Structure 1
Amino acid sequence: MSRRVVRQSKFRHVFGQPVKADQMYEDIRVSKVTWDSGFCAVNPKFVAIIVESGGGGAFMVLPLHKTGRVDKNIPLVTGHTAPVLDIDWCPHNDNVIASASEDTTVMVWQIPDYIPTRNMTEPVVTLEGHSKRVGILTWHPTARNILLSAGGDNVLILWNVGTGEALLTLDDLHSDLIYNVCWNSNGSLLVTTCKDKRLRIIDPRKRLVVAKNFEEPIALQEMDTSNGVLLPFYDPDSSIVYLCGKGDSSIRYFEITDEAPYVHYLSTYSSKEPQRGMGYMPKRGLDVSKCEIARFYKLHERKCEPITMTVPRKSDLFQDDLYPDTPGPEPALEADEWLSGKDAEPVLISLRDGYVPVKNRELKVTKKNILDSRPPIGPRRSQSTCDTNFSHSAFEELLEEIKSLRQTVQAHEKRISDLENKLCQFTNGTD
């Protein structure tokens, strides 16, 4: 008699489950724009969701603990003149998020720790360089302030957000629409998928495609049969790939191994409502006390539903094998170091005692003065008409005054928000 050998894996019994009803985000008008992004981005502090908005594009940002029904008048992040297509949180600053839009621009925003009292309309910096809509954003995994964008013009642009300038423009590597972009772990290479049915591995600093033809796969597995767009999420710690189909109602997950047959089906999480988008929590935002190895934020037509993936364990102790050191919020390189050719692995942190998000760190943008490199146009004014030193000094004083006023306004907004919350609690208590 032959005996069936069961493959050993600590992730064989991973199961998914939704949170309780009071921990969902309800009454959200999720964007109806036809695009292939997840429409949702999460980090250990916030969940951001692209929403319907008249007269332009917008997305909302909610603190993770702000669950339940969302006020229809909640302030939004607005500023784009056309629908927002993609959003992505900075991995090195939990208060900084980038947005891409059909208006061909990319905007970077500084989100306060408190809920503002009115719409946010002024980004920290606006990045302009694409000639068609911008639909893909992804931050560099190890270098500070480097953001990659891809547009309908088949162009990849790498930005230095700290100066508001384009570091690299890759405009001759794709002949058709770019579908997706992803960095490798240290940010030395990136991979793209394209409408021309080719997968490209690119060295962006050399502006070269280092691999493109993958004619003989080491394994071929049918992972999904739905017609909707697949949103793949890969966890390098567990070597699990999660496949979420837009318009589908399930999450299928597979374990990748070094030995044949390489791809192993684990299980499927199914729900009743189809998903319109999906956000994926970084490992440092998970609850290690519950053996949670992944968390998704599933978008429906009117709500956002967190779903947790858990490995069943009897012990309450910290599980070292489930939680190796993971990339933290500190960058390993500066933008100039990476551009000069230097590479570095992510700065890792331990999750043994859990992760506590750091306080709001302001994103500083230092733009170069383009007038410094251009000759003056027209007749030069006399010294009596315009004193250069005095003008520069007055300009610096004006900037300092604006900064002080901005801090004052933010402090007042926080105080007003706190008073409104207290008033709401007092009113509920008297009813």
Structure 2
Amino acid sequence: MSGRFVRASKFRHVYGQQFKKELCYENLRPTLSAFDSNLLKCNGKYIALNASGIGSVIVIPVTETGKAPEQVPMFRGHTGGSVLDTDFDPFDDQRFVSCGEDGKIMIWDIPQDYTFIHNDPKKIQDVKPVGELVGHTRKVGHVVFSPVAKDILASSSFDYSVKIWNVATKKCVMTLQHKDLITSFCFNYNGTKIASASRDKHIRVWDVRSGKLLCEGKGHPGAKASRIVWLGKSDTLFTTGFDRYSERQLALWNANDLSSGPIGGFYPLDSSSGVLVPYFDLATSLVFVAGKGDGNIRYYEVADGKLYDISEFQSINAQRGIAFAPKRSVNVKENEILRAYKLLNDNSVEPVSFIVPRRSEMFQEDIYPDAPAGIPALTAEEFLSGKTVDGPTLVSMRDIYDGAEKPSTKTAEEEEKEQKANEVVPASVEKPKEASTKKVEAAKTKISAPPEKTEPAKKVEAVRPVFTKSQEQGVDAMLNGKTVNKLLEKVENASDDDTQDVDADNEEWESVEVNESEKKREEKKKEEERKDKERKKEEERKMEEKKEEEKKVKAKEEKKKTEDQRQTEPPKLTKETKVGAKDDATVAKSSKKAVGLKANVEKLQTLVEKLEGTVSTLIEANIAKDEHLRQIESKLDQLLNHSA
């Protein structure tokens, strides 16, 4: 694969971070069905999980983490089998659909006050569907909403067809008939085409509104299920599948020329048996691949028509299923580019956050281009009538960083009128005092508003505040300073002739602000240096303590060894013994003040007695040895005489 060589990429160091146990979802009861689907979906606000039992779905708000109680509300409506797949409406966070073995597609509305954990066990009520789509003759395996048009849904079934539905009217508007079971399908970026992979080992591209087969070609040669995704705005498809020997492989395809085979051939992966689930992130051009039964999630970068291996997230917890949240729900302030939810074998769901490490705390524009906003670009009627758009309605990720959740839905004329109404009158025309007062009020409004709950811009906010976005940090500290208070008083008390003074004050504001930021940076730098010095001193102190302990242990061992030798080896009446006695006498003399003369005499007497005992023992040992030698000699003489 091309990724074997190190590629210069800003996503080279992307890493996955597992959430702590208390932020996971535990004690769930997922389905035991072996059908090949993701088993769970997420829209950033809720998680929908195929539940065990007949026709039921579990819906969990992402904020309600922890262990689920034994009794929870269920979404029940299917009859005669399990739920096989779900999908959230991309333009309505409270709506999702499910399909199952009964051949029906159910439409659900999540109650506004819905909770999964905080319920009275005696008052728990199951949620019923608000509608159903009937038209397939066998099991329905997959459902996917259109990325651009409201109420346009596609579904695949065991009757070898993909049907396009108008959810509002509950009618099927188009049927794409295949020759075998569909294992995966997806919309293109503007929702006008569908690419499908089926069990007959073919890949097809269809026109959604006319039902025409645009292109067809042979896919992965293996018998196991293939998955397919469209790579954003391009005409390139990405698939996962198996070869004839059941080894997993990846491939890129030209959506306009499938018959020519994969671009650059198949990319072999490994010999595991789990189906690979792909997900493409348009903002980063990264493809994330998670294998069922694997603990890891691989990610690749698509560039110049090639697939480059970037890295992988490794975990000991294998996933049964996986879901990926929309881009607009990621934590932009932490440089999170994607969030995945893994269904584990212990019946829990574990979130995994993929982060691009950056030192700067500012908004990272290069990794956060505009993302789908959750607002339909077309109605169902416009889409079916043939109207086409370039893609989904987008939201600026900078707005999400600043606190706004969704972009304005006003028309261009309304925005133009509002802009004219909110234009600031130049200082030469407007009264200086009014201009300065407006600036002060705008600054105060900007300062007092919490950063995380900033609402979309209103008319009053059209006046540009004194502070820029890059200078918002540390504003509270500046307001408490004497210089800033003095400036505020000066601006508020400005007269009609104070225009130049106010302008000068603006410069003074900015200089104060810059000085404050520089001070903060210097203080932060000094604090870091101080911490580094303390850390180094602590390490040196620990090293010295460790060396001292090692010396003490070594001294103890040597002392113990010396004592053992003294106990095992009897002393000899030699010069060394005399020297030792002299040393003992010297020691006794040095400790004269502590023990006294009497103690020294007793000690010497004890030592003499020990020496006499040792001499007696040695003499007896020599006598016994001589006697033993005589006995051996006599026995040898007897043996020699006997042999003679």
TM superposition score normalised by structure 1: 0.78
Distance apart, 1:252 and its partner CA: 0.9
Give a deviation string over 1:154-204, Cα, whole Å, max 9, x none.
111111111111111223xx1100001100111011100000111111112
Match of 1:94 in 2: 93
Match of 2:206 in 1: 202
Match of 2:580 in 1: none
Match of 2:66 in 1: 68
Match of 2:342 in 1: 298
Match of 2:606 in 1: none
Match of 1:414 in 2: none
Q: Which amino acid aligns with 1:148?
A: A
Contact 1:39 1:50 in 2 (8 A): yes
Give a deviation string over 1:90-124, Cα, whole Å, max 9, x none.
10001100000000000010002322653434212
Contact 2:7 2:308 in 1 (8 A): no
Cα distance between partner residues in 2 of 1:125 and 1:9: 47
Q: Quick one: percent identity of the two aligned structures?
A: 39
Distance apart, 1:357 and its partner CA: 5.9
Give a deviation string over 1:9-57, Cα, whole Å, max 9, x none.
111111111011110000111211011111111112111111112xx12
Contact 1:79 1:120 in 2 (8 A): no
> What secondary structure sits across from 2:365 in the alignment?
coil
1:248-267 aligned at under 5 Å gives the runs 248-258=294-304, 262-267=306-311
**Structure 1 residues 5 and 167, CA gap change in structure 2 (3 angstroms):** closer
1:384-395 aligned at under 5 Å gives the runs none
1:49-64 aligned at under 5 Å gives the runs 49-53=49-53, 56-64=54-62
Match of 2:358 in 1: 313
Matched, 1:338 2:383: yes
Q: Which moved more, 1:266-275 or 1:221-230?
A: 221-230
Q: Which amino acid aligns with 1:232?
A: P
Cα distance between partner residues in 2 of 1:84 and 1:357: 32
1:412-431 aligned at under 5 Å gives the runs none
1:354-373 aligned at under 5 Å gives the runs 354=400
Counterpart of 1:235 (choices 257, 281, 294) is 281
Q: Which amino acid aligns with 2:294?
A: D
Distance apart, 1:206 and its partner CA: 1.8
TM superposition score normalised by structure 2: 0.53
Aligned length: 349
Contact 1:76 1:118 in 2 (8 A): no
Looking at secondary structure, tell me which structure has more strand per residue. Answer: 1
Counterpart of 2:183 (choices 176, 179, 186) is 179
Matched, 1:35 2:35: yes
Match of 1:104 in 2: 103
Cα distance between partner residues in 2 of 1:209 and 1:32: 36
Match of 2:567 in 1: none
Cα distance between partner residues in 2 of 1:271 and 1:356: 35
**Structure 1 residues 224 and 92, CA gap change in structure 2 (3 angstroms):** farther
Distance apart, 1:239 and its partner CA: 1.0
Distance apart, 1:273 and its partner CA: 2.2
Cα distance between partner residues in 2 of 1:145 and 1:157: 13
Q: Which amino acid aligns with 1:139?
A: F
> What secondary structure sits across from 1:273 in the alignment?
coil
**Structure 1 residues 209 and 237, CA gap change in structure 2 (3 angstroms):** same
Cα distance between partner residues in 1 of 2:368 and 2:285: 13
Cα distance between partner residues in 2 of 1:356 and 1:103: 42
Matched, 1:144 2:150: yes
Q: Which amino acid aligns with 1:272?
A: I
> What secondary structure sits across from 1:7 in the alignment?
coil
1:3-22 aligned at under 5 Å gives the runs 6-22=6-22
How well do the aligned residues superpose, as a CA RMSD in angstroms? 1.7
Cα distance between partner residues in 1 of 2:103 and 2:279: 27
Matched, 1:349 2:347: no
Cα distance between partner residues in 2 of 1:356 and 1:202: 37
**Structure 1 residues 221 and 128, CA gap change in structure 2 (3 angstroms):** same
Match of 1:245 in 2: 291
Cα distance between partner residues in 1 of 2:300 and 2:269: 9
Cα distance between partner residues in 2 of 1:87 and 1:24: 21
Cα distance between partner residues in 1 of 2:21 and 2:303: 36
Structure 1: unaligned runs, 5 residues or longer: 359-431
**Structure 1 residues 356 and 93, CA gap change in structure 2 (3 angstroms):** farther
Contact 2:339 2:351 in 1 (8 A): yes
Distance apart, 1:222 and its partner CA: 1.8
Contact 1:45 1:357 in 2 (8 A): no
Distance apart, 1:224 and its partner CA: 4.3
Give every structure 1 segment of 4 or more consecutive aligned residues whose post-TM-superposition deviation is greater than 3 Å: 116-121, 355-358
Cα distance between partner residues in 2 of 1:137 and 1:333: 20
Contact 1:240 1:254 in 2 (8 A): yes
Match of 1:190 in 2: 194
Give a deviation string over 1:382-429, Cα, whole Å, max 9, x none.
xxxxxxxxxxxxxxxxxxxxxxxxxxxxxxxxxxxxxxxxxxxxxxxx
Q: Which moved more, 1:341-350 or 1:205-214?
A: 205-214
Distance apart, 1:356 and its partner CA: 6.1
Structure 2: unaligned runs, 5 residues or longer: 116-122, 218-257, 407-644
Cα distance between partner residues in 1 of 2:127 and 2:134: 17
Cα distance between partner residues in 2 of 1:156 and 1:253: 29
Counterpart of 2:318 (choices 268, 271, 274) is 274
Q: Which amino acid aligns with 1:178?
A: I
Cα distance between partner residues in 2 of 1:121 and 1:287: 31
Cα distance between partner residues in 2 of 1:207 and 1:272: 45
Query: Using CA pairs below 8 Å that are at least 6 residues apart, which structure has the higher relative contact order?
Result: 1
